[in-house]
Amino acid sequence: MRVNMSGGAGTGNGPAEAVRLARDPADLWPCAGAARGWATIIEEMAEERIRVALADDDVLLREGLASLLERSGFDVVGQCADSARLLDLVRQQRPELVIVDIRMPPGYSTEGLVAAHQIRAEFPDTAILVLSAHVEVEYAMDLLATGQRTGYLLKSRVIDVDDFTDTLRRLVRGGSAVDPALVAELVAARRLEDPLDALSPREREVLSLMATGRSNSAISRELWVTEGTVEKHVRSILMKLRLPESDEMHRRVLAVLTFLGAR
């Protein structure tokens, strides 16, 4: 900017106006306010990144998952290949979410599940997702019975990144997630004396979708009904299953556990 310090016809305002123009930050840096605004937004976004710990002995899968999560706005605070190191990692880093395989070294049996139970005992607010290659009904039931913030998904069925990351965020917020393949396995193996016998076919369908972690609005879109209709079905399900009075989220979890345990 060319400033006329003589106060002549070029400016018509004199030296005082020239000094004002030269010293006014709003004139010199018109984007300063916007820059500060973006800095605040970026800082808030960084604070909202969910801290995740990964445990899987398949290094390619583990590294690929870590890269995917980082690109999706998560903060991978550590990864390992066995349950012992996972416990150390969780104790040191205190992640909000742990993603673990069931079968890991040294025995490739239930090491991941044992570690998940230990993490739940020490850090009850930490969300845990079992990402398994197989439908392990007993293992899944054992883990899901520990309460909220738990999930069980099959590796081969994770085909949509947005759905997967939405599921992870839902777990951290206190939700649950069960792979539809596991739900189908449990439905096929229900006991003769089924506590779900009191439910109508539509209510069983709603409960089945609840077991996969869907919200009322998501269920309404899936079944092509209004959200109000879904809410009525949910209330009826909770009443027919004779679940104790408590907050809505806890009763939904109990309903899902009843559904999964009816086998």
Provide the pLDDT confidence category of residue 6 given band limits of 50, 70 and 90: very low
The Cα–Cα gap between 83 and 103 comes to: 9
Backbone angles phi, psi at 182, to 5 degrees: -70, -40
Region 250-259: mean pLDDT is 67
Q: What is the pLDDT of residue 135?
A: 74
SS3 of residue 208 by DSSP: helix
The Cα–Cα gap between 62 and 71 comes to: 14
The Cα–Cα gap between 142 and 261 comes to: 10
Stated pTM of the model: 0.58
Backbone angles phi, psi at 152, to 5 degrees: -145, 115
Cβ contact 111:83 at 8 Å:
yes
Note the helical H segments in 173-226.
180-188, 201-211, 216-223
10-66 pLDDT, tens digit each: 444 554 444 444 444 444 444 545 555 555 555 444 457 999 999 999 999 999 999
Lowest mean pLDDT among 29-38, 154-163, 219-228: 29-38
Q: At residue 99, does pLDDT exceed 90?
A: yes
9-19 pLDDT, tens digit each: 444 455 444 44
The Cα–Cα gap between 214 and 236 comes to: 17
Provide the pLDDT confidence category of residue 100 given band limits of 50, 70 and 90: very high
Q: At residue 93, does pLDDT exceed 90?
A: yes
Region 67-94: mean pLDDT is 95
